[in-house]
Amino acid sequence: MYKTLLSFILLSSLMLQASDILPSWNEGTSKKDIISYVSAVTDEKSKDFIPKKDRIAVFDNDGTLWSEQPAYFQLFFIMDRIKTLAPQHPEWKTKEPFASALKGDLKGALKNGMEGLMALVMATHAGMTDEAFDDIVIEWIKTAKHPTKNVHYSELVFQPMLELLDYLRANDFKTFIVSGGGIDFMRPFASEVYGIPSNQIVGSSIEVKYENKKITRLPKFRFNDDKAGKPVAIHYHIGKRPVAAFGNSDGDFDMMKYTEANEKYKTLQLYVHHTDEKREWAYDRKSHIGKFDKGLDYAKEHNWTIVDMKNDWKVVYPFELKK
């Protein structure tokens, strides 16, 4: 009797588990890869077992955890801020890249490449305390809307990836964001949206100084958390090699190869491939944003998991669940 009861409880719990894991993922190779990896490395009897303290999972943000089209969302933040600040800067009306930005002409504003971009970044990201900047970002994320999807930017996170983050944390992984985006742009809202504490959110940064009990943001670039910068940022912020890495573009390729080269533990590398032009966007090798070319070839050759967004995901965004 006792044994029957026990079997029943175990069976129910297994069934519950199976139906609960990654509910927005269709059955298929991607879902199977994730579950079999997590099962192997969390099973104490497995040769692939990883102690909890070393279960480090790193996620790119733009294009991996939320959308990044038609331009990185931080660029829309910049354009919106330029408009808000324009009355204090009458000279912007005739001065590039501000003049183009004020007309909403992103392409024109960025036609001089990094130089124009940096001018826009510094005009909108520096000159205030860290806490004042937090408030600016929070206000924007609560009010601004995506130009074509017409919803708040924080609604454009990927439901299947939220489930993946939860699933990993439920299995005692520590989840980190390692993004080319601004560290201080992400932190004010990403903690709440993704359930990742601010100290586990890593990104590009500008210089700051401490004076009069305050941190003030300075108009000087400090660190580019992209490509080879990602493993460097992982070194400083995490201090150990990850075991699982999640990205969507060639910008994440170094971070993923760095993870793959973990000599101590079995690893998982997963690329989100943007294949869904209907629900999201479809782009890869030739895209200006989120270019996915070398990484795609390597991923195929090395049997990394490549998520086919169109076929692997039941829904893309959380709001689809409410329909």
Give residues in contact with its own copies (CB under 8 A): 53, 130-131, 174, 176, 183-184, 187, 191, 197-201, 205, 208-211, 213-215, 228-232, 235-241, 254, 257-258, 260-261
User: Minimum Å distance from CB 313 to its own copies?
Assistant: 29
In the complex, least distance from residue 259 CB atom to its own copies, rounded to whole angstroms = 9
Which is nearer to its own copies, 20 or 172 (by Cβ)? Answer: 172
Give how far the C-alpha of residue 14 lies from the chain's centroid of Cα atoms, to the nearest Å: 31
Return the number of the residue (68 or 225) whose C-beta is nearest its own copies. Answer: 225
Q: How far is the CB of 223 from its own copies (least distance, A)?
A: 9
The nearest distance, CB 264 to its own copies, in angstroms, is: 9
Sheet bearing 174-182, strands edge to edge: 214-223, 201-211, 174-182, 56-59, 244-247, 268-273, 305-308
- Helices then strands, counting H and E runs in the chain, come out as 13, 7
Judged by CB, which is closer to its own copies: 222, or 285?
222
- Shortest separation between residue 297's beta carbon and its own copies, angstroms: 17
Q: Please give the span between the terminal C-alpha atoms of the chain, in angstroms, as a whole number.
A: 45
Residue type for 186, please? M
If the CB atoms of residues 116 and 182 are measured against its own copies, the closer one turns out to be 182
Residues making up the chain, counted from first to last: 323
**In angstroms, what is the minimal distance from the CB of 251 to its own copies?**
13
- For its own copies, the closer of residues 201 and 309 by Cβ is 201
CB 265 within 8 A of CB 47: no
Q: Do the beta carbons of residue 255 and residue 58 sit within 8 Å? A: yes
CB of 205 to its own copies, least distance (A): 6
CA distances from 237 to 131, 177, 226, 230, 231 (A): 21, 11, 14, 10, 10
Strand partners, 308: 273
Alpha carbon separation from 128 to 8, 78, 123, 133, 244 (Å, rounded) = 60, 15, 11, 6, 36
Say how far apart CA 79 and CA 84 lie, in whole Å: 9
When the beta carbons of 224 and 287 are compared against its own copies, the nearer one is 224
* Pick 257 or 310: Cβ nearer its own copies: 257
CA distance 201 to 315: 25
**Least distance (Å) from its own copies to the CB of residue 255?**
9
Name which of 230 and 273 has its Cβ closer to its own copies.
230
